Structure 1
Amino acid sequence: METFRKLKVFYYPFRRDFFLSLFFLLLLTCMTVMYPIILQQTIDEVMISGRYEFIPWIAGGFFLIMLLKGAATYGHQYLGDMFGIRTVFHLRNKLYEKLQILSFKYYDNAKTGDLMSRLTADVEGFRFFLSFGFAELLRFFLLIGISLVVMFYYSAPLTLITVAALPFLAAAVYRFDKRVHPAFRGIRKSFGELNTKVQENISGIQTVKSLSREDFQTSRFSDSNEDYKEKNMQTANVWSTYFPLMEFIGNLTVIALLFYGGYLVIQGNLRPGELVAFFSLVWYILWPIMNLGFVINLFSQSKASGERLLEVLEADEEISDVKCQEKLIKGHVAFRHVSLSYSEGNEEALHDISFEAVSGQTIGLIGATGSGKTSITQLLSRFYEPSAGTIMIDGKDIKEYSLHTLRSSIGVVLQESFLFSSSIKANIAYGRPEAPMEDIISAAKIAKAHDFIMKLPDGYDTLLGERGMGLSGGQKQRIAIARSICINPSILILDDATSAVDMKTEMNIQEGFRHMLNNSTTFIVAHRISSLKHADQILFIKDGRVAERGTHDELLRKKGAYKRIYDLQYKDHVMQKNAAGQVL
């Protein structure tokens, strides 16, 4: 019950619905037990005694009880469903909110399909037990308790025979629960992996088709589907083993009662109607006990789902937020002996990084793939925390800024631009929804996106497909650049942001930056020297360390690694120009 105790905060506020549902359940159970009592009276007091004039009264009583039972059933089911629905409404919102808070480190190891499974299948599994399973568990105790009281009234010896069978049924149910819970946890995990395979394949369908790997992806999905099938088969095997056993124990009890109960009737120690009523009550006990396996099944599914939900809710947020007075960030950035390790025991991604960028300056970051360029910019946005050192903005540790203040002052454009399934206007204004149309158009013009947007059928109101489908890579990048410009950032991070545009467009975009964002501190991460040669300071990053630093001209004079890259890229440029001249 530890899982349900931890999740209590979500369902306890709606306890009123739960307890009202229990009240109607109590009425429903009492009226259910009335059936055998009325049946006993009909047989013994009417049929055997010949008092047939009471039959209309008994029929009317039955009708009244059915009406009351129907009303009680409605109240019980409606309020029970409301209890579960309201609970998971807040639970799902909290889960989604938690996913927004979790750091990049969590998503480095998380699988999208598995997270989707938790927010859908696992939440519904938990809801179903709250709405139905928990009530069935309480019905079990109420029905057995009330039925035993009536059975003792009719015949204590027969009741003792019934009670003697209960420990055997309880033992079978206990063993069933021990085996079925791990089985259902395996099913939930396998279902999450299956969702991940589907999500990955759909997201990467262009890559799959371009490399003709449809058969390989089908095989991967088939393996995951096979594992999911096997997990379900194992659970089915548990069911098929224990349910017949529980039914067998129940049937043996009925045979014993039939034998001994018939003997008592023959001896005159039990009336026929009482025996019939007793057998009805026996099934009111045996059926819930045998059905307890189904309830335990729901409980195990719900517990397994709850455990997976708690894994998300209790995940370490790592990036701590603070509540502080909103303060305008100017953009003076200083790294002081900063190091970064993504996890304990791993090699450092950054080591002893120190530099300073005055507000309005442009810092260029260049180096081989995996050298740590992007890691520096991710630390600046607090996507990760440094393992050593301090990062200052305007003379203040970035940890002293609220995440909202910090990140809303930083515009980030990544190499792989992500656009939402919405209009172009909404995508550009995503970080500043209240932005007037003039600012949106201005940002698009700086990013050199305005012209191609106006050629689209609906201009800025053109709806984009998933992840910006329908636009070229360069067009998506320019819209992403416009989105970052639109928030008027104090700090702008361009992480290979112009890699998908031609050099002429890149130069035009940079010209726009110099005219419109000269008050922003800009970090340019690039492989092309042409993207950052105008930077006020260039850092050449190698193996997580600053290997060289200076302006473009200073680095060329040092004749180090930066100069070698420049020579290679310039040589390629000269060769391309010569080749073009020969063609002409």
Structure 2
Amino acid sequence: MKALAHLNKYLVKYKWYLILGTLFTIISNLFGIIPAQLVRYALDLVKDTLDVYFLFEGSKIQSSFYDIFAFSILLYGMLILAMALLKGVFLFMVRQTLIVMSRHIEFDLKNEIYAHYQTLPLSFYRRHNTGDLMARISEDVSKVRMYVGPSIMYGINLITLFILVISYMVSVNAKLTFYVLLPLPVLSLSIYYVNNIIMKRSEALQAQLSSVSTFVQESFSGIRVVKAFVREREQLRHFINQSNDYRNKSLGLTLVDSLFYPFIVVLVGLSNILVVYIGGQEIMAGRLTPGNITEFILYVSMLTWPVMALGWTTSQTQRAAASQVRINEFLTTKTDIVSEKNTVRDIQGAIRFDNVSFVYPDTGIKAIKHFNLSVKAGETVAILGTTGSGKSTVASLLTRLYDPTEGQILVDGVPLKEYNLQSLRSQTGYVPQDVFLFSDSIAQNVAFGTTGLPFSKIEQAAKDADLYTNIIDFPEGFDTKVGERGITLSGGQKQRLSIARAIARDPKILILDDCLSAVDTQTENTILSNLQRIMQDRTSVIISHRVSSAKLADFIVVLNDGEIIEQGTHTELLERNGSYKELYDKQLQGEEV
């Protein structure tokens, strides 16, 4: 129950649902107990008056006596029916409070998890796969809802019914009550034993479900690769293996439940036998009536479902606990990307890297080593280098997806750690190397970074990214759905749409992380010409492995293995006849060929 204590704040939030649900449960159980007493009175009435009825056989008194007797029985029947109807009404109210409460808690818990996910740093997502994240916010939350809904409802019902029924049974005959409840300690011990088995198997089952979800998500996301390499059968075989593991774990858990419930039924049946045997002795001793025996049998029947539900409730609670442990594992993970002073201000765009080094925490790779760079507001810097030289790491550090291991980064003379994250990133336009588009329209993807962006700006951003002509050729224009991850667009179109999304928000700092790698030279020249106007009066960082992308830069930095090996203007670097000159000549010869 320690893990489930996280849900107490929600139970407090929806306390009136819980209080009213408990009250309705008590009332519904009262209306469930009264009919058993009415049955006792009716049976005792039949027994006590039957001999008197036959005593007046053949007389007019017998007819009148029969009318009174029949009316009394009818009255008892009507009262029992009325009690059943009232019990049904209050059972409906119980579900409308406790089950509705569980749906509210499920809604709030999913929102809490999703909101927390978005606060976690990029390093967290490098360590955990998407399928596991999805399983915890869907399957695990569903298991938890079974605890705060049906499990609590049946638990309250069990407690109130036991208190009401057992207290009344003791008042009628303590000896018979003792024998009726005698199997319950055995039941408690069996539940204690089974709980540990259920807990372990539930955890294994949830872990396997996450594995299946991850595999399916990756298969569908990479369906192009799967089909291109004709791996459908192999993927199906892997899925069958994963599903078999899940099935076997599910059957193992089901086996425990299947053996548990019949055991409970046997114990309840034993209670009925004891009622008849001990109750018969009490009747012969004159301490009970046959109506009492019938009443006790009805009480045992009333306790049958709650006792059976106890096993189910215990199982659901254990599953919920296992799921909540998994949920808490992520909820207790805190981001290390926090603002020290929460500074909110309009930035001008002056950037300075002061002896910055960075080591990726999950791999230990030192991507940047003693990196120093100063860019004035409004200037454009190009960072060139081969694959793995640390170019994209610079972009990640500048957008504060990571914090430097050593040194510091300043914007307008203020350390990056002091800025409010939302304020800083809202003034930065970032075009990542790995383009990601949402399953929405082109217009919505362009306007993604800005709320309430006018259509005229969306249109202009598409023109500046040299995408407008392609868009108007689509049958639905800007309303064209791009599909999952932009699958309906070509690689170049996706990159240009990503550029349009970045420049549409009119950022103070524009970061282009190798965003022109999928376009041809002519399209690149068109985009760069448009960007020349856009980059005026704003700080721009162009990251690329192509020298042609650096021609708009005020100065150029060449990286190799995380270190700056050359920097200067295009002319200065050519005159030095170093790495930049070598890279320039190779790419120039390639274009000529």
Secondary structure, aligned partner of 1:365:
strand
Secondary structure, aligned partner of 1:500:
coil
Cα-to-partner distance string for 1:151-174 (whole Å, 9 max, x where unaligned): 212322121123332211100011
Q: Supply the distance in 2 between the matched residues of 1:440 and 1:403 (Cα, whole angstroms).
A: 25
- Alignment check: 8 A CA contact 1:10 1:88 kept: no
- Alignment check: 8 A CA contact 2:11 2:18 kept: no
- Cα deviation for residue 470 of structure 1 reads 2.1
- Cα deviation for residue 345 of structure 1 reads 8.1
**C-alpha spacing 1:336/1:97, structure 2 compared with 1 (3 Å):** same
Query: What is the identity, as a one-letter code, of the residue corresponding to 1:186?
Result: A
Counterparts in 2 of 1:439-518, with a 5 A limit? 439-518=457-536
**C-alpha spacing 1:558/1:237, structure 2 compared with 1 (3 Å):** farther
Query: What is the identity, as a one-letter code, of the residue corresponding to 1:12?
Result: V
2:49 aligned residue: 49
Cα-to-partner distance string for 1:389-425 (whole Å, 9 max, x where unaligned): 1100011011121111111111111233222222222
1:197 aligned residue: 215
Secondary structure, aligned partner of 1:49:
helix
Query: What is the identity, as a one-letter code, of the residue corresponding to 1:37?
Result: Q
Counterparts in 2 of 1:301-320, with a 5 A limit? 301-320=319-338
Q: Supply the distance in 2 between the matched residues of 1:367 and 1:48 (Cα, whole angstroms).
A: 104
- Cα deviation for residue 428 of structure 1 reads 1.3
1:27 aligned residue: 27
- Cα deviation for residue 323 of structure 1 reads 7.0
- Cα deviation for residue 52 of structure 1 reads 4.0
1:418 aligns with 2:441: no
- Alignment check: 8 A CA contact 1:331 1:394 kept: yes
Cα-to-partner distance string for 1:310-362 (whole Å, 9 max, x where unaligned): 22322212211467464211111000111222227824222221111111222
Secondary structure, aligned partner of 1:317:
coil
Q: Supply the distance in 1 between the matched residues of 2:228 and 2:411 (Cα, whole angstroms).
A: 45
Q: Supply the distance in 1 between the matched residues of 2:40 and 2:540 (Cα, whole angstroms).
A: 89
**C-alpha spacing 1:84/1:291, structure 2 compared with 1 (3 Å):** closer
Query: What is the identity, as a one-letter code, of the residue corresponding to 2:6?
Result: K
Out of 264, 281, 285, the position equivalent to 1:246 is 264
Out of 261, 266, 289, the position equivalent to 2:307 is 289
Q: Supply the distance in 2 between the matched residues of 1:87 and 1:321 (Cα, whole angstroms).
A: 31
Secondary structure, aligned partner of 1:269:
coil
Deviates more, 1:507-516 or 1:45-54: 45-54
- Alignment check: 8 A CA contact 1:190 1:227 kept: yes
Query: What is the identity, as a one-letter code, of the residue corresponding to 1:244?
Result: P
Counterparts in 2 of 1:213-292, with a 5 A limit? 213-292=231-310
- Alignment check: 8 A CA contact 2:357 2:404 kept: yes
- Alignment check: 8 A CA contact 1:336 1:389 kept: yes
1:78 aligned residue: 96
Deviates more, 1:37-46 or 1:286-295: 286-295
Query: What is the identity, as a one-letter code, of the residue corresponding to 2:364?
Result: N
Q: Supply the distance in 2 between the matched residues of 1:321 and 1:70 (Cα, whole angstroms).
A: 56
- Cα deviation for residue 218 of structure 1 reads 1.3
Secondary structure, aligned partner of 1:334:
strand
Q: Supply the distance in 1 between the matched residues of 2:472 and 2:300 (Cα, whole angstroms).
A: 78
- Alignment check: 8 A CA contact 1:411 1:491 kept: yes
Cα-to-partner distance string for 1:270-295 (whole Å, 9 max, x where unaligned): 21111111122223335422331101
2:586 aligned residue: 568
- Cα deviation for residue 300 of structure 1 reads 1.4
2:424 aligned residue: 406
Q: Supply the distance in 2 between the matched residues of 1:322 and 1:311 (Cα, whole angstroms).
A: 25
1:365 aligns with 2:388: no
Aligned residues: 575
Out of 89, 98, 101, the position equivalent to 2:116 is 98
**C-alpha spacing 1:11/1:267, structure 2 compared with 1 (3 Å):** closer
- Cα deviation for residue 69 of structure 1 reads 1.0
Query: What is the identity, as a one-letter code, of the residue corresponding to 2:5?
Result: R
Deviates more, 1:263-272 or 1:142-151: 263-272
Out of 326, 333, 352, the position equivalent to 2:370 is 352
2:56 aligned residue: none
1:59 aligned residue: 77
- Alignment check: 8 A CA contact 1:172 1:246 kept: no
Query: What is the identity, as a one-letter code, of the residue corresponding to 1:428?
Result: V
Q: Supply the distance in 2 between the matched residues of 1:462 and 1:134 (Cα, whole angstroms).
A: 48
Query: What is the identity, as a one-letter code, of the residue corresponding to 1:75?
Result: M
1:37 aligns with 2:37: yes
Query: What is the identity, as a one-letter code, of the residue corresponding to 1:78?
Result: Q
Secondary structure, aligned partner of 1:484:
helix
- Alignment check: 8 A CA contact 1:446 1:482 kept: yes
Query: What is the identity, as a one-letter code, of the residue corresponding to 1:318?
Result: D
2:55 aligned residue: none
Cα-to-partner distance string for 1:485-528 (whole Å, 9 max, x where unaligned): 11111111111101111011111111111122211211122121
Q: Supply the distance in 2 between the matched residues of 1:202 and 1:424 (Cα, whole angstroms).
A: 22
1:9 aligned residue: 9
The answer for unaligned runs of 5 or more in structure 1 is 577-584
Deviates more, 1:247-256 or 1:295-304: 247-256
- Alignment check: 8 A CA contact 2:24 2:94 kept: yes
Q: Supply the distance in 1 between the matched residues of 2:363 and 2:118 (Cα, whole angstroms).
A: 27
Query: What is the identity, as a one-letter code, of the residue corresponding to 1:330?
Result: Q
Query: What is the identity, as a one-letter code, of the residue corresponding to 2:279?
Result: G
- Alignment check: 8 A CA contact 1:322 1:403 kept: no
Q: Supply the distance in 2 between the matched residues of 1:541 and 1:7 (Cα, whole angstroms).
A: 51
TM-score using structure 1 length: 0.94
- Alignment check: 8 A CA contact 1:322 1:401 kept: yes
Q: Supply the distance in 2 between the matched residues of 1:559 and 1:174 (Cα, whole angstroms).
A: 79
Q: CA RMSD in A?
A: 2.0
Q: Supply the distance in 2 between the matched residues of 1:112 and 1:295 (Cα, whole angstroms).
A: 31
2:345 aligned residue: 327
- Cα deviation for residue 563 of structure 1 reads 3.4
1:396 aligned residue: 414
- Alignment check: 8 A CA contact 2:345 2:423 kept: yes
Cα-to-partner distance string for 1:187-233 (whole Å, 9 max, x where unaligned): 22221221111111111111111111112211221222122112101
- Alignment check: 8 A CA contact 2:123 2:362 kept: no
1:536 aligned residue: 554
Q: Supply the distance in 2 between the matched residues of 1:423 and 1:506 (Cα, whole angstroms).
A: 24
Q: Supply the distance in 2 between the matched residues of 1:29 and 1:393 (Cα, whole angstroms).
A: 68
